[in-house]
Amino acid sequence: MKNIAVFASGEGTNFDVIAEACEQGVISAKVVLMVCDKPAAKVVEKAAQRGIDSFVFSPKDYSSKADYEREIVRLLDEKNVDLVCLAGYMRIVSDVLLSSYEGKMINIHPSLLPAFKGAHAVEQAIAYGVKVFGITIHWVDASLDGGKIIAQKAFYYDGNDAEEVHRIGQKIEHTMYVEVIDKLLKNNYS
């Protein structure tokens, strides 16, 4: 069985969906670690309720990003993680993590990349007047939301309510991330 780590910074809705899919056998893997950079995030409680080990930290408690990322790499290695899934993790990863998990780390992003990179993609798209929004899953590399695209899904929305776009997108994310993770672990994507 393959081992997954999920990195999150907030509610943990994608974490929940991934963990549930693993528990039900939809994904042939086990979530063995949840990493969170915000101790008060809801995902921390969700991981605890599921009995999933967590590494929860405050970046300010470390002298550098490299220091906490070395700790994360140690834990990922210790748990023999096959795939790292960024799911609302709001930190840019550095070479410390990338060099150890290159080709084993994916991210989900609320736009049709390469358009609208970064933390406020939906708001940027609305400001630009976009009518076709989307979700992208991509490999993580050293660039901001710039790794090779694995999968994308688009949806039409003619409005300017960012919360509504996020709600629509999240429904797509929950199905799409599970499907992509399962295919990646079965080596059906590259």
Region for 50 from its dihedrals, namely left if φ exceeds 0, alpha if ψ lies in -120 to 50, beta otherwise: alpha
Q: Are 110 and 29 in contact (CB under 8 A)?
A: no
Contacts of 94 (CB under 8 A, 6+ apart): 65, 66, 69
Residue 39 CB neighbour total at 10 angstroms: 10
Question: Is 166 an active-site residue?
Answer: no
Encoding tokens for residue 34?
A: 């949840």
The count of C-alpha atoms lying within 13 angstroms of the C-alpha of 178, restricted to the half-sphere facing its C-beta, is 20
Name the catalytic one among 109, 120, 138, 166.
109
Contacts of 183 (CB under 8 A, 6+ apart): 189
Question: Any idea which residues carry the catalytic annotation?
Answer: 109
